[in-house]
Structure 1
């Protein structure tokens, strides 16, 4: 009797931690979760983040199995090879192939701008990448030269393969392009920039619009259907393994689960109100999402409810003491990547504590780009204001900082005053 009781207690002790952990979102990234993919067996997920890392997770218990670090900037794209290899694409333009070691097995290529998307060819022999340098590339894994696809007017935001091996690209120029092996592409003009593409097993193309629309295109480029997901831009897409469902994420934080055949929204998942940047199906009944709260969440598609708590305990708001301050309001757009306090540490960007009077690229343990380290700038009221007046790309060439400006002079002045006070 006592032996059976001890055995029951051992079994209970062994299973309880897993049951609890399985219902907690995967927490480990220091910045928004930009990319997600799930292994075919559903046991593992690979995520990429603005914090310049990728994490391989055990989905069922929420444990981080590996942390992959090589990129100088955000990891914007991830993908899986059929043989178990892991792919990461970064803001630094590099594509890394990982296997079992602490370092990548090799780098597959170098874009002149951030990598925005990755896709593996149907035969598993090559990898497509899209980039903000205006190109897409198909890189064979046997080491032969890549095929470069040019033609988009501006950043290429997404890439996918049709079942017959043709390449599909999505551009900021509001086009979807279908590339034959040779010759010019079929160009589909839409009404807004296209942020992502995904391809179903039958070849139908799903395109995510910055106008909040999801467009379904036949393999020849003709439009079969268009439906409004919401007023906010659609920024990420995922296809269910059977191709029947599409998940479309918006910058407003909602996720629409779409019945593809009927071109209708079947279910809407409502999160904590922060942007959802990435998603992936785990079988037909579960969705995994990553977003601005730095978490990887699981959702039950039968009920539309999160698996585990939706609201998480968060640290105290560092801007609460500056309520009503216009400069603090402007800084809200920056707090996902930068901390202000001595104990805040680095996120996707370096800490701003002590920034005034500090020479550029000198925060310890932050992976600055080589070009950034060559700049001769000391941060003060004038240089910070100039940064946001003309934008990071012009003022600090080689920066990993997202391009943004503060157009109103009074807002720039308020931001500088706030930073002078908050970063002392």
Structure 2
């Protein structure tokens, strides 16, 4: 059984460190499940292996410099993590990776595994296929971030990019390019070769192996963030920036379950091995398991960090709830997954002591104030501060941006 060897090694390694027992210190970015364990990866730079039966943390793994954005279960045992530092770590038990893959010049956004091959998608505009013998195939052609990658039957690889294209790469030779109406954030490929892509326009698109678009299905009015296939390929799970999580009967393109996660955004979904449960992770930093038949939660793994924010009826405070998992406001709050916001007005971007900023932010020349903070959320971090570690999020309403600024002026002093 997949990961049987990993589970044995983790059980022998002992429990997670006490300070990590509560779970992630920031939003969860990726989730996976296999055998008797679940795995979550977070913006706090850690990956946590949980025992699914009782939610106990078996191991907390820290290696990446920055957020851990991607997970992939490796057939035959182990799993891979991909980080904002551009590295891919292969884990087979213990508290250090067995092997580290380097070569990307930007954050790794997605991983996939098939046999002895691992595929990675990154914000350096490339995807890569890593073979067990050490050879690497670089898949170049996307313009901008490559956000999704999946293996297809027969050895092909499918990539999804911010340039609004899917690219179907045969085992050798050039890719077939499928132009879509919107940037793409995720892609999966079913055992029968059917491709499903999740777009920034909230639409699912069903693409056949020849590259034709067979159907479209609207899931949300905001970007879709993650896709997952059930083990048999019959069902598809979808998560969105707005907190929507649904399970779809793939071939009939019919929604069968809506999960009321009450969490914005949701960043990750994964099916349990038997296909009856779904795992989700997002802004709250808590891994949750759901019964697919009923749509009800069955277990929470870990607990959210203290935010120090009591939203009450203040609109700005309500908006800040999505920020509070990563950012403290009080003088003694310190740095979390993101730097403290205490004293943020008038501060040079990238200047909080002790926080590992990206080079892009440290050299941006931005001074945080009402205009620059408003612009950050009007355009989104990836447009306003390219190369930042901050997860993509936009506050479209000018009134909501003003409410957040009014709240921060008082709360962050």
TM-score, scaled to structure 2: 0.81
| 1:280 shift after superposition | 0.8
Corresponding residue for 2:288? 297
* Cα distance in 2 for residues equivalent to 1:174 and 1:393: 16
Structure 1 residue runs without a partner (length 5+): 1-25
Q: CA 1:245 to 1:290, structure 2 compared with 1: closer, same or farther past 3 Å? A: same
* Cα distance in 2 for residues equivalent to 1:159 and 1:225: 20
Q: Deviations over 1:139-181 (max 9, x none)?
A: 123223x111111122111000012111100111111110013
Matched, 1:30 2:30: no
What SS is found at the alignment partner of 1:130?
A: strand
Q: CA 1:380 to 1:182, structure 2 compared with 1: closer, same or farther past 3 Å? A: closer
Q: CA 1:355 to 1:68, structure 2 compared with 1: closer, same or farther past 3 Å? A: same
Residues 136-215 of structure 1: matches in 2 within 5 Å?
A: 136-144=127-135, 146-215=136-205
| 1:73 shift after superposition | 1.7
CA contact (8 A) 1:290 1:297 kept: yes
CA contact (8 A) 2:84 2:389 kept: yes
* Cα distance in 1 for residues equivalent to 2:245 and 2:384: 36
Q: CA 1:199 to 1:45, structure 2 compared with 1: closer, same or farther past 3 Å? A: same
Matched, 1:63 2:52: no
Q: CA 1:291 to 1:331, structure 2 compared with 1: closer, same or farther past 3 Å? A: closer
* Cα distance in 1 for residues equivalent to 2:382 and 2:77: 37
Q: Deviations over 1:52-99 (max 9, x none)?
A: 111111111111111111222211101121232221111121111122
CA contact (8 A) 2:28 2:286 kept: yes
| 1:259 shift after superposition | 0.9
Structure 2 residue runs without a partner (length 5+): 1-20
* Cα distance in 1 for residues equivalent to 2:252 and 2:396: 44
Corresponding residue for 2:225? 235
Corresponding residue for 1:96? 89
CA contact (8 A) 1:27 1:294 kept: no
| 1:223 shift after superposition | 2.5
* Cα distance in 1 for residues equivalent to 2:300 and 2:171: 48
CA contact (8 A) 2:110 2:120 kept: yes
CA contact (8 A) 1:381 1:416 kept: no
Let me know the Cα RMSD of the aligned residues.
Answer: 3.5
Larger radius of gyration: 1
Q: CA 1:317 to 1:180, structure 2 compared with 1: closer, same or farther past 3 Å? A: same
Matched, 1:44 2:37: yes
Residues 330-345 of structure 1: matches in 2 within 5 Å?
A: 334-345=323-334
Q: CA 1:221 to 1:357, structure 2 compared with 1: closer, same or farther past 3 Å? A: closer
Q: 1:306 aligns with which of 294, 297, 300?
A: 297
CA contact (8 A) 1:384 1:416 kept: no
Q: Deviations over 1:294-342 (max 9, x none)?
A: 11111111212111589x99857626489366xx677566434211114
Corresponding residue for 2:267? 277
